[in-house]
């Protein structure tokens, strides 16, 4: 085993893996992480602790991951290329490992421009780093773990042993380059892949066909991304505004009908849509898991961690395997 | 060429208003091309200052002139008497010119009238776009002539991030995704496979991250070392 | 012509000298800078226009009536619509500037201490007198008639050249201190030898004063007249008698003068000439005007014999012309003697050309070979070192302005001779390279604008009088006509030491004139002198050959003037496109400081800023409506500049509403418009 993490064990066992996501708060108080960890614990194999997603300042991924660990939830720490140069990245990785973290997802990170959105002012004037990109970051982790060397070549007395993750946007443009993109991340050393949210199963399946032809599904565990829809509006927004995500009309209509059914009752509208959203998520989980080459799902219930239990149970993925 | 744009007039006025004798000095090369700091703009700015001074009942003696390039001694030399006999030089050169001139005259303040922005191309009249970051280690042969350092918002070197949408960057719909362009260009060139290899972390010491840079022509440097002095 | 320090030089003179001339200027025998004076007329600067004209042409007024205007034939507008009415504009400018012109007359001292005699006072003689007086020589003219001017005074009928106009030219020259001895026939009243003896140099400028006659039977009959004596008698009112039916033999310009003069004496006039209508040497417009006046022309007939009755002319027998020119193109008529006709006439006037009368030089040292004075065209000198010769007596028949050119050369030669510096190759050369025709690819971008008609008296009325038959332009017409000029040769020029080849001019120019390599070069044959590129050039590397692009700004403090801080009425800088201002004759309310612009294409953002800087409260811009602007792209560039100017003003807390743009239709409201109050 590369890392000995629970996630790695689940994948090695051949069971479909389930990961979830936990967003740390914009607060110096870690209790919210503890609360969310409790909601997720037992319903997933590991949960991503996001690294200042949308470039908004929050409790750092490493600190959040340690809190989750204390609560008995295995974390997947995230490391973006946006905020640290290779020195800070490697130092943080060593520290994270020392604190008991074993999974790390390498991502580019949302541009700082996105931090100013809605009511948030964010830090659009921040300097970004991008000393290394995602592929290179993956390579750094692998080099540290497998060769015991820093990127610069200096030796590490005790190498950090991370289960290395990377993201993939199967529906992103240019479509025909996306498999190459994935291959480069796997070549660089990614052990598991969490994909961008999948709604259009046809696009995902056709991309997976190419992945299988390239044998990539055997070199890394691909976990299909499921973003749980909560409202019809959200689906429409995801379709029109989230890069690499397209939502079939039929799904948007289903959510819209659920809303209509409630008439003017706003409370009911929310309830019906959430019910329908969970149903859709479960269907998508099935479709994704039925796709050859897929080793699990990455379920994101954004600011709705309480839904995970119901989804995982409805999808027949409960209970989660336990290892001694 | 170097692209810049004029600072807001109020900002300029704030910085210069306490001076009595001001020379607005245009630079007639790069920043003239981008209509920010050439002879013409220097004269316009000088007129603006005159109007403002009149409005504020300040007596300021403002003149404008321009040199071909403020970043070379020979172009500046013939005007140095003029330049030195003023209280303030308001330079309309890029930051290079402002630095160069400041170093050259020392005793007279040289203030910037421009914000220097980037190395750009001119796809059409009135449009200037950033195409190179001057990172000192060119890989354009690998990326279809499109620089991911300068033109990708994240300077990614191994392909697009997940934020690409309809060929545009996640930062703005007005920004082309450099990697989208690179992939398309490489397909056209029949060289897509050049993108398959993982580019290792790069050496940024050739860029600004190695500290201020200097390039000397090897043969001249060698000669000077041998002779123990500057060539003339 | 001798360049002197005080000689007026229009803006850009030195640059123009080094570049190909505009075709109008190149075509002019004295290289009058037509473009320069037309441009000055178009901005209402008539006095300067006069200076440009007069600087090379001492008989400017005469030329403004009688010049055959080769400038117009060469005008590049010919390939678009019609040439500019250059001669007529010249007349307008000279009339407008007449007060100024008179005020400038000054007596010049004989600073050289040398005296020159000129024999003959035609265009060449007058020019020599003018130039040498300017150079500080004492000049005396000997004229056989009672008036100076040569043929201009003694032969050209007044309906073509009002004598008051000629007098303006002569007064200019006489005012310099030139002495004129009138009614003095050299060779009879004074000998040439005596003149040579008394003077440091002598210039023969006797022209071609004798009419040629014909060698056909009965040519000595009563009623057969020669052209020049006939015209002179009429001009000086010597009571010449002609019959009811006059036949003029000849097809040249003098023949037309004779015919039209005879017509004005009340006769029926017919012309007979060897040439076909197309071959006739007279100018087309002269022929047309003659025909309008009822003069008949018989082409391709040659005179064969005069038939007389009681010693008086009765008829002319003519024979058919087969050809006028031989295969080499030389004048060598051939006839079919079998085809004859008879033309009835009681007066026949022979107008087949002139020759010089050399009798005055009898017993002088001057050599005459084959009826011509021996001379050296490199030095204008005769065989006698101090005697020079000029004009048609040596060049042969030509135009008045060509004689002026000859006069300039000769004056220069005399001056060099008297300074001991005369050598071949030093005389002025008026043959100059010219700008090519308007390139095909841009013709479509030049809006046709028809030439403003020159009004003539009705033929029926003008036939009864020797009054001048052509009406001058009024100011409105003149400014409009001047506005048609494309400014050839006066356009944009790049200072290569400032140009960094940024391509702005190339992008801005609607006519594709700039070629940008190491630096921009603006091709004069393409350039329409709109001036758009000048204010766009970020390096200020472009200027205009024909006008000072900074003049408006430099003059702004004076234009705006000293202002009363308590003024109630706003002071407005009015940048007015002269294509319209002309219409109103610059008459605007007092609080508007008019700054005439030949098109807003020349209005710079800096000009607007400068107006405010000099204290103007507002700026009014008068421009042509979008579709009638003379130039391409002006509206786009103008609106870009306007919005830039407004942005700059906003930064200075000056409201953009302080600038108003008016088009032609609104001009009339100037006084009423609240903006101006």
Domain map of chain C by residue range?
Answer: 1-208+356-484, 210-354, 492-544, 551-676
DSSP state of A275: H
CB distance B162–A130 less than 8 Å?
no
- Residues of chain C predicted below pLDDT 70: 1-6, 580-587, 664-673
Report the chain B residue with the minimal C-alpha distance to residue A137.
Answer: B201
The radius of gyration computed from the CA coordinates of chain C, to the nearest angstrom, equals: 29
Residue among B159, B183, B208 with most chain A CBs within 10 A, to mutate:
B159
The radius of gyration computed from the CA coordinates of chain B, to the nearest angstrom, equals: 22
- Using CA atoms, how far apart are residues C662 and C677, in angstroms rounded to an integer? 16
C613 touches chain B (CB under 8 A): yes
Chain C residues inside the 8 Å CB shell of B33: 500, 502, 538
- Tell me how crowded residue C167 is: count the other CB atoms within 10 A of its CB: 17
Paired sense of beta strands C618-623 and C659-663, if any: parallel
Nearest to B163 among A180, A181, A243 (CB): A243
Rama region for B144: left / alpha / beta (φ>0; ψ in -120 to 50; rest): left
- Subunits next to A (3 or more Cβ pairs <8 Å) are B
User: Looking up tokens 């290792």, which residue turns up?
Assistant: B200
Helix, strand, coil share (%) of chain C residues, nearest 5: 35, 20, 45
Report the chain C residue with the minimal C-alpha distance to residue B40.
Answer: C538
C-alpha dist (Å) from residue C560 to C393, C406, C592: 56, 47, 9
Would you identify the CATH topology of the domain C210-354? FAD/NAD(P)-binding domain (3.50.50)
CB distance C606–B38 less than 8 Å?
no
What is the number of CB-based contacts under 8 A between chain A and chain B? 103
Give the distance from residue C498's alpha carbon to the nearest chain B alpha carbon, in angstroms.
7
CB distance C538–B44 less than 8 Å?
no
Written as one string, the DSSP assignment of C318-384 is EEEEEEEE-TTS-EEEEEEEEEEEEEE-SEEEE-S-EE---GGGTTSS--EETTEE-EETTTTEESS
Chain A residues inside the 8 Å CB shell of B183: 174, 177
CB distance C538–B35 less than 8 Å?
yes
Q: Is C94 exposed, middle or buried (0-12, 13-18, 19+ CB in 10 A)?
A: buried
* A9-35 mean pLDDT: 97
Residue among C539, C541, C637 with most chain B CBs within 10 A, to mutate:
C539
- Residues of chain B predicted below pLDDT 70: 232
Contacts of B53 (CB under 8 A, 6+ apart): B59, B60, B62
What is the number of CB-based contacts under 8 A between chain B and chain C? 67
* Domain residue limits, chain A: 6-230+291-309
CATH 3.90.930 fits C551-676, yes or no: no
C-alpha dist (Å) from residue B151 to B104, B176, C118, C249: 35, 8, 83, 87
Contacts of C352 (CB under 8 A, 6+ apart): C211, C212, C214, C249, C250, C252, C255
Q: Encode burial over C332-351: b for 16+ CB neighbours within 10 A, e otherwise.
A: eeebeeeeeeebebbbbbbb
Which of A28, A26, A31, A140 lies closest to A79, judged by CA?
A: A140
* Beta carbons of B98 and B25 less than 8 angstroms apart: no
Would you identify the CATH topology of the domain A6-230+291-309? TIM Barrel (3.20.20)
**Percentage with pLDDT > 90 across chain A:** 95
CB distance C651–B41 less than 8 Å?
no
Contact call for B and C: 3+ CB–CB distances under 8 Å = yes
Rama region for C376: left / alpha / beta (φ>0; ψ in -120 to 50; rest): beta
CB distance B44–C540 less than 8 Å?
no
As for the ipTM of the complex, it is: 0.87
Give the distance from residue B163's alpha carbon to the nearest chain A alpha carbon, in angstroms.
5
Structural domain C492-544, CATH architecture: 2-Layer Sandwich (3.30)
Give the distance from residue B164's alpha carbon to the nearest chain A alpha carbon, in angstroms.
6
* A173-193 mean pLDDT: 96
Give the distance from residue A244's alpha carbon to the nearest chain B alpha carbon, in angstroms.
6
Residue among C505, C510, C540, C648 with most chain B CBs within 10 A, to mutate:
C540
Which CATH homologous superfamily contains domain C1-208+356-484? FAD/NAD(P)-binding domain (3.50.50.60)
Residue A168: per-residue pLDDT:
97
Span between the terminal Cα atoms of chain C, in Å: 53
What phi, psi does C574 have (nearest 5°)? -105, 105
Give the distance from residue B50's alpha carbon to the nearest chain A alpha carbon, in angstroms.
35
Q: Which residues of A touch B (CB under 8 A)?
A: 81-82, 86, 108-111, 113-114, 128, 130-136, 139-140, 151, 167-169, 172-174, 177, 180-181, 183-184, 187-188, 196, 242-244
Give the distance from residue A249's alpha carbon to the nearest chain B alpha carbon, in angstroms.
19
Residue C662: per-residue pLDDT:
85
Structure tokens at B195: 């993108």
User: Looking up tokens 């936990």, which residue turns up?
Assistant: A22
The radius of gyration computed from the CA coordinates of chain A, to the nearest angstrom, equals: 19
Residue C651: per-residue pLDDT:
95
C633 touches chain B (CB under 8 A): no
Helices vs. strands in chain B: H and E counts, helices first: 9, 7
Residue C666: per-residue pLDDT:
59
CB distance A136–B201 less than 8 Å?
yes
User: Where does the pLDDT of residue A300 fall: very low under 50, low under 70, confident under 90, or very high at 90 and above?
Assistant: very high
* Domain residue limits, chain B: 2-118, 136-196+206-232
Domains C1-208+356-484 and C210-354 fall in the same CATH topology: yes
B56 touches chain C (CB under 8 A): no
- In three-state secondary structure terms, A74 is coil
CB distance B155–A130 less than 8 Å?
yes
What phi, psi does B174 have (nearest 5°)? -85, -5
Class of domain B2-118: alpha beta
Looking at the DSSP bridge assignments, the partners of residue C204 are: C119, C389
B97 touches chain C (CB under 8 A): no
What phi, psi does A75 have (nearest 5°)? -95, 155
C563 touches chain B (CB under 8 A): no
Give the distance from residue B7's alpha carbon to the nearest chain A alpha carbon, in angstroms.
18
Residue among B6, B32, B55 with most chain C CBs within 10 A, to mutate:
B32
In SS3 terms, C580-641 reads as: HHHHHCCCCCCCEEEEEECCHHHCCHHHHHHHHHCCCCEEEEEECCHHHCCCCCHHHHHHHH
Structure tokens at A44: 């997933």
């Amino acid at each position: 085993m590369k890392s000995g993490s629970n996630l790695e064990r689940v994948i090695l066992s051949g069971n479909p893996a389930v990961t979830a996501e936990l967003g740390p708060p914009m607060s110096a108080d870690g209790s919210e992480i503890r609360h969310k960890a409790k909601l997720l614990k037992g319903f997933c194999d590991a949960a991503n602790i996001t690294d200042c997603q949308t470039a908004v300042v929050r409790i750092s991924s490493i600190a959040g991951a340690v809190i989750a660990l204390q609560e008995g939830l295995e974390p997947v720490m995230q490391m973006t290329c946006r905020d640290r140069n290779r020195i800070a990245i490697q130092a943080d990785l060593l520290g994270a490992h020392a604190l008991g973290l074993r999974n790390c997802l390498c991502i580019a990170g949302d541009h700082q421009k996105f931090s100013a959105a809605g009511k948030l002012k964010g830090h659009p004037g921040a300097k970004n780093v991008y000393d290394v990109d995602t592929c290179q970051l993956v390579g750094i982790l692998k080099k540290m773990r497998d060769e015991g060397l820093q990127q610069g070549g200096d030796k590490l007395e005790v190498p950090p042993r991370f289960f290395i993750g990377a993201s993939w946007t199967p529906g992103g443009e240019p479509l025909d380059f996306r498999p190459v993109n994935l291959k480069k991340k796997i070549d660089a050393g990614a052990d598991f892949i969490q994909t961008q949210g999948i709604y259009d199963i046809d696009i995902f399946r056709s991309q997976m066909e190419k992945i299988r032809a390239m044998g990539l599904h055997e070199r890394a565990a691909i976990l299909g991304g499921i973003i749980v829809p909560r409202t019809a509006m959200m689906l429409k927004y995801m379709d029109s505004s989230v890069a690499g995500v397209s939502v079939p009309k039929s799904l948007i209509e289903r959510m819209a009908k659920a809303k209509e059914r409630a008439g003017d009752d706003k409370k009911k509208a929310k309830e019906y849509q959430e019910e329908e959203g969970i149903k859709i998520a479960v269907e998508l989980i099935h479709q994704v898991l039925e796709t050859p080459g897929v080793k699990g799902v990455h379920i994101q219930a954004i600011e709705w961690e309480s839904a995970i239990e119901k989804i995982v149970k409805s999808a027949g993925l409960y209970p989660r395997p336990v290892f001694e | 060429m170097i692209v810049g744009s004029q600072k807001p007039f109020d900002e300029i006025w704030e910085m210069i208003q306490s001076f009595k004798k001001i020379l607005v000095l245009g630079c007639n090369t790069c920043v003239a091309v981008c209509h920010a700091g050439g002879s013409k703009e220097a004269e316009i700015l000088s007129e603006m200052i005159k109007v403002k001074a009149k409005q504020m009942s300040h007596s300021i003696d403002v003149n404008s002139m321009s040199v071909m390039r403020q970043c070379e001694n020979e172009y500046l030399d013939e005007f140095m008497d003029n330049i030195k006999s003023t209280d303030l030089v308001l330079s309309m050169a890029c930051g290079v010119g402002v630095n160069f001139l400041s170093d050259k005259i020392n005793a007279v303040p040289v203030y910037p009238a421009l914000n220097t922005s980037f190395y750009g191309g001119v796809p059409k009249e009135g449009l200037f776009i950033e195409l190179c970051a001057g990172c000192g280690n060119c890989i354009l042969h690998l990326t279809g002539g499109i620089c991911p350092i300068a033109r990708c918002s994240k300077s990614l070197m191994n392909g697009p991030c997940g934020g690409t949408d309809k060929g545009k960057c996640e930062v703005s719909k007005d920004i082309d995704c450099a990697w989208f362009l690179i992939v398309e260009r490489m397909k056209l060139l029949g060289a897509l496979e050049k993108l398959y290899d993982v580019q290792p972390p790069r050496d940024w010491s050739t860029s600004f991250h190695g500290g201020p840079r200097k390039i000397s022509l090897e043969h001249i440097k060698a000669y000077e070392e041998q002779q123990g002095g500057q060539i003339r | 012509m001798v360049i002197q320090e005080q000689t007026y030089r229009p803006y850009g003179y030195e640059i123009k000298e080094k570049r190909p001339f505009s075709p109008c200027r190149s075509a002019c025998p004295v290289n009058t800078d037509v473009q320069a004076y037309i441009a000055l007329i178009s901005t209402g600067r008539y006095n300067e226009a006069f200076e440009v004209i007069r600087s090379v042409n001492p008989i400017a007024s005469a030329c403004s009536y009688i010049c055959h205007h080769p400038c117009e034939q060469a005008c590049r507008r010919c390939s678009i619509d019609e040439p500019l009415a250059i001669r007529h504009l010249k007349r307008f400018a000279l009339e407008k500037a007449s007060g100024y012109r008179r005020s400038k007359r000054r007596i010049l001292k004989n600073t050289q201490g040398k005296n020159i005699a000129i024999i003959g006072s035609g265009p060449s003689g007058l020019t020599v007198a003018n130039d040498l007086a300017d150079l500080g020589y004492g000049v005396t003219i000997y004229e056989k008639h009672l008036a100076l001017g040569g043929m201009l005074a003694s032969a050209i009928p007044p309906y073509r050249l009002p004598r008051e106009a000629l007098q303006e030219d002569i007064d200019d020259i006489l005012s310099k201190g030139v002495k004129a001895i009138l009614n003095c026939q050299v060779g009879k009243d004074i000998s040439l030898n005596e003149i040579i003896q008394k003077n440091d140099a002598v210039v023969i400028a006797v022209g071609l004063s004798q009419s040629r006659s014909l060698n056909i039977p009965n040519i000595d009959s009563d009623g057969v007249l020669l052209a020049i004596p006939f015209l002179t008698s009429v001009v000086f009112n010597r009571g010449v008698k002609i019959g009811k039916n006059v036949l003029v033999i000849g097809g040249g310009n003098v023949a037309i003068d004779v015919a039209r003069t005879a017509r004005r004496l009340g006769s029926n006039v017919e012309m007979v000439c060897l040439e076909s209508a197309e071959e006739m040497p007279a100018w087309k417009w002269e022929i047309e005007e003659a025909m309008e006046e009822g003069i008949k022309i018989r082409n391709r007939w040659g005179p064969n014999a005069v038939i007389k009755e009681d010693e008086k002319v009765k008829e002319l027998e003519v024979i058919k012309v087969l050809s006028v020119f031989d295969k080499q193109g030389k004048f060598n008529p051939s006839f079919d003697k079998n085809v004859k006709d008879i033309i009835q006439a009681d007066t026949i006037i022979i107008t087949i050309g002139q020759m010089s009368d050399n009798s005055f030089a009898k017993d002088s040292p001057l050599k005459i070979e084959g009826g011509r004075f021996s001379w050296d065209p490199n030095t204008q000198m005769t065989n006698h070192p101090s005697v020079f010769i000029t004009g048609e007596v040596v060049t042969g028949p030509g135009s008045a302005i060509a004689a002026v050119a000859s006069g300039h050369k000769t004056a220069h030669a005399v001056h060099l001779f008297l300074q001991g510096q005369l050598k071949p190759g030093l005389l002025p050369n008026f043959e100059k390279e010219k700008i090519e025709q308007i390139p095909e690819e841009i013709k479509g971008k030049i809006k046709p604008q028809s030439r403003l008609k020159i009004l003539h008296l009705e033929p029926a009325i003008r036939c009864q009088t020797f009054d001048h038959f052509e009406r001058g332009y009024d100011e409105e017409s003149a400014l409009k006509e001047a506005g048609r000029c494309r400014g050839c040769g006066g356009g944009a020029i790049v200072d290569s030491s400032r140009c960094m080849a940024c391509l702005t001019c190339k992008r801005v120019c609607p006519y594709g004139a700039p070629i940008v390599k190491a630096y921009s070069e603006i091709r004069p044959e393409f350039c329409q002198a709109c001036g758009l590129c000048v204010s766009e050039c970020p390096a200020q590397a472009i200027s205009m050959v024909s006008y000072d692009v900074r003049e408006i700004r430099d003059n702004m403090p004076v234009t705006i003037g000293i202002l009363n801080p308590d003024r109630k009425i706003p002071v407005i800088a009015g940048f007015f496109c002269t294509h319209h201002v002309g219409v109103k004759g610059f008459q605007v309310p007092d609080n508007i400081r008019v700054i005439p612009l030949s098109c807003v294409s020349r209005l710079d953002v800096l000009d607007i800023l400068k107006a405010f800087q000099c204290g103007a409260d507002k700026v009014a811009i008068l421009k042509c409506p979008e579709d009638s602007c003379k130039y391409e792209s002006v509206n786009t560039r103008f609106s870009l500049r306007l919005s830039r100017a407004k942005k700059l003003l906003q930064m200075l807390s000056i409201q953009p509403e302080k600038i108003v743009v008016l088009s032609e239709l609104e001009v009339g409201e100037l006084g009423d418009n609240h903006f101006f109050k």
